[in-house]
Chains A and B, each alone.
Chain A
Amino acid sequence: KAGVTQTPRYLIKTRGQQVTLSCSPISGHRSVSWYQQTPGQGLQFLFEYFSETQRNKGNFPGRFSGRQFSNSRSEMNVSTLELGDSALYLCASSLGAALSYEQYFGPGTRLTVT
């Protein structure tokens, strides 16, 4: 069974631009969660989607948004990029909606904002 895939793997953007990251979950998984990892703040939960609905959200500004499609693939969008948005963005998929289900992580997308 294929693992969680994220595209693109690396991305360089300029301040003020917007970016869309994609995550394809493991086949059969209906929950996708997104995380931001930075050296300073560590790992922080962004949001979780289950069956195309956002069921949970972390403490991030509204510039961070996401969606999930009927095939469970998910996209994350960051608008008006800031230097502080430079990070590794991880997505994880799981069978069930609760985060207590085992999550399987993707390799991440490394976003650099200049």
Chain B
Amino acid sequence: EAQVTQNPRYLITVTGKKLTVTCSQNMNHEYMSWYRQDPGLGLRQIYYSMNVEVTDKGDVPEGYKVSRKEKRNFPLILESPSPNQTSLYFCASRKDRDMPYQETQYFGPGTRLLVL
């Protein structure tokens, strides 16, 4: 089954304690992306990756890091989480890198993060 998986699904942590949210896709997609979703603000792109070892900032990259060492994995790292990073996080992947792309963007199930 084609899917994007994220772990953990729920996480409560404290300010400053480093954490990693994993994302993995089994569709051999080149493009992967991280979003955060907050009430009234919609989905905002944090980072994206066009391929292995190629990553770039989205609209809200501050406080986050990513890596793309393998095609299937795209972890999101919060080196020193703060309460304003409390949010719902989605990982997504897509086959095509270029426009106009015909394939849909598949989203993972989401990770709810609470930073105290």
Task: Please say whether chains A and B are actual partners in one complex.
Answer: no
Question: A-side interface residues toward B, CB under 8 Å?
Answer: none
Report which B residues bind A (CB closer than 8 A): none
